[in-house]
Amino acid sequence: MDKPQSYRTIDVVLYDDVNLLDVSGPVQAFKTAKFNGRRKYRMRYLSLDGANVTTCCGMILGAEAALRDTRESADLLIPGGAGVDEIIENQLLREVIQRRAASANAPRLISVCSGAMVLAAAGVLDGHKATTHWSRADNANEYEHVNWDLDKICVLDGQIFTSAGITTGIDLALSIIARDCGQASALEVARVLVVQLRRTGGQSQYSIHLAGQFSGSDRLSRLIEQVVTQPHLNWTLDELASNAGMNARTLSRHFKQTLQETPAQFVERVRVDHARGLLADRMVPKQVAIYSGFGDLQRMRRAFQRRFGVGVSEYISVFG
């Protein structure tokens, strides 16, 4: 946990067509956080020229100052939004980011959603692990020196913090609050906001939830929820079919139509995603294999090899 201090200042960069939730989500979490009964964070809202901005949903946000008035000792938060494509080449913003990255004060660089593209364009993500919204995969591939993991909800690498997008800015803020103020403070913020303290798995897992919810079949939706929340159970095809109240052939057809994969492939994907979250928490791989439903380490290794082309140990060495 970082050394306690009265407060940390976070400069929030605003621009036209910024995503409102990318700003309000993490900011609300930071404003709610307390350490020893006192507010831990203070936000300053900066636009490129000091003028108010219009978010992508049409709401006006007021800026306190221009970007040139930023303090190098403060953390810098860059939210995402459609306007990223306009500001990504802004020379002043790029210089501010680069100076912040080189500062002896070690301020944090925080991005939400496509805000990571701005950090990448400034070169500060080179050699670092990072994530961004899944829809920016093609843009991310342009920055080949960044160690992207676009299935992660959020990534903390040194003084650089990136999140997948939209509501995951709250997840990222909670991770930072836990680091600064402890788990109890982060849990209290999560309770106030009525969100999970830590979502396991990655972006793909939540697309599984959505696919089930919009499948048109309540039985399939309930089954998907069961598997995602209890991957350790013995999910054979017969067991899946029994829980869904269908025969195996009908269930397989529903999975193909809804998720474009077989029930067995779906179960393996859920278990791998769950295992990745446990590995990120530094759980011993043999225990991860049990808790995620593989049963033994060899089966988990084969699953990782199929999904990522590397074994568990190689995956850990690359992604931590």
Q: Residue 187: what pLDDT?
A: 79
Domain count, the chain: 2
Q: Does residue 223 share a domain with residue 166?
A: no
Domain that holds residue 12: 8-193
CATH number of the domain enclosing 70: 3.40.50.880
CATH number of the domain enclosing 243: 1.10.10.60
Last residue of a domain, one of 158, 193, 228: 193
Last residue of a domain, one of 166, 193, 220: 193
Q: Does residue 166 share a domain with residue 188?
A: yes
Q: Is 145 helix (H, G, I), strand (E, B) or coil?
A: coil
The answer to whether residue 3 is domain-embedded is no
Write out the two tokens for 182: 């402890």
Residues in the chain, pLDDT under 50:
1-4, 206, 209-210, 213-215
Q: Does residue 159 share a domain with residue 207?
A: no
The CB density around residue 256, as the number of other CB atoms within 10 Å, is 13
Last residue of a domain, one of 139, 159, 193: 193
Sign of CA dihedral 284, 185, 177, 20: positive
Write out the two tokens for 96: 């501010």
pLDDT digits (tens, 9 = 90+) for 170-194: 989 998 998 899 878 887 888 888 7
Residues 189 and 198 sit within 8 Å (Cβ to Cβ): no
202 forms beta bridges with 152
Q: Does residue 207 share a domain with residue 183?
A: no
Q: Does residue 43 share a domain with residue 179?
A: yes
The answer to whether residue 198 is domain-embedded is no
Q: Does residue 128 share a domain with residue 260?
A: no
Q: Residue 199: what pLDDT?
A: 58
pLDDT digits (tens, 9 = 90+) for 23-63: 999 999 999 998 888 889 999 999 999 999 999 999 999 99
Q: Does residue 175 share a domain with residue 136?
A: yes
Q: Does residue 217 share a domain with residue 166?
A: no
The answer to whether residue 252 is domain-embedded is yes
149 vs 33: CA distance, rounded Å: 28
The answer to whether residue 2 is domain-embedded is no
288 vs 277: CA distance, rounded Å: 9
14 vs 172: CA distance, rounded Å: 18
Q: Does residue 170 share a domain with residue 31?
A: yes
Q: Does residue 177 share a domain with residue 29?
A: yes
Q: Does residue 187 share a domain with residue 211?
A: no
Q: Residue 104: what pLDDT?
A: 84
Name 74's Cβ contacts closer than 8 Å, sequence gap at least 6. 8, 9, 10, 11, 44, 107
The answer to whether residue 256 is domain-embedded is yes
Write out the two tokens for 164: 């997948």
Write out the two tokens for 61: 């946000």
Q: Residue 196: what pLDDT?
A: 57
Q: Does residue 169 share a domain with residue 284?
A: no
